[in-house]
Amino acid sequence: MHAFTDEYNRRKNEIDAYINLLNALGNDGAKIIDIDDREAIITVQQQKVCKASCYLLIYNLVEATVMNGIQSIYNRIKDERLDFNSIMESLKKVWWHSKTESLTSTPKGDLIETVYNYYCETNSGQELDFNNFISGVSGNMDAAGIRNVCHRYGIPVVPDGRHLENVKTYRNWLAHGNKSFSDIGQDVTVSELFDIKTNVFTFLDEYVNNINTYLNSESYKANL
């Protein structure tokens, strides 16, 4: 649990440091001076590219935090050597969902035996392995996507998060080449990026708190 929170805070600090750098680069006449006193003026195009890159940093924080939060639940289940019947109903469904790819690739003639083997596993008393499967996580992680993940795991959902939609959209445009870094960076100020960052942090802070509460209250366990 502490590792999850520490990693989240470390990534937040990276983004804070980057936005501080953007502030410095945005000053009139900003320049870089190397050890030999050679100067390089920061161009407008360079500023645009740097501002657009901030969306990638923020999106990576979002996706990593969601996935690390779920992984911390799996780690707790593994540490406590819990079996199928010891976990809550939502997690049982996730475990079955984690077998979907295996089942869909199973030849028709072997399907019944494969399903039966999984069924036997649920009653064997052996500790569970989710194989790092994260239910509901995709390459399009916005507020609605995060709430979908929370619902699947029985985690309290976080309201609002409207800024995550734009972060996801700009990240996808950059990742797939729909728009250039200059195109994205020219339409946003450092002040606006700061506001976006602040709102995303607020959303993720609550998600992290909800994960920690979920673990502390042992909500992952079945109500026996």
pLDDT value at residue 64? 95
Is residue 204 within 8 A of residue 62, CB to CB? The reply is yes
pLDDT value at residue 173? 96
Confidence tier at 224 by pLDDT (50, 70, 90): low
Look up the pTM and report it: 0.90
> For the chain, which residues make up each domain, given as ranges?
2-80+139-216
137 burial type by CB count under 10 A (0-12 exposed, 13-18 middle, 19+ buried): middle
For 174, residues 6+ apart whose C-beta sits below 8 A from its C-beta are 52, 55, 56, 181, 184
pLDDT higher than 70, residue 1: no
**16-35 pLDDT, tens per residue?**
999 999 999 887 777 888 78
pLDDT higher than 90, residue 132: no
**Separation between Cα atoms, residue 115 and residue 119, nearest integer Å:** 6
User: What tokens appear for 20 in the block?
Assistant: 């501080």
Is residue 219 within 8 A of residue 69, CB to CB? The reply is no
> Who has greater pLDDT, 8 or 32?
8
Is residue 207 within 8 A of residue 158, CB to CB? The reply is yes
Confidence tier at 156 by pLDDT (50, 70, 90): very high
Quote the strand ranges of the chain, DSSP E: 31-33, 39-41
**Can you say whether the dihedral through the CA atoms of 91, 95, 98, 103 is positive or negative?**
negative
For 168, residues 6+ apart whose C-beta sits below 8 A from its C-beta are 59, 62, 140, 141, 142
* pLDDT mean over 202-218: 97
pLDDT value at residue 133? 87
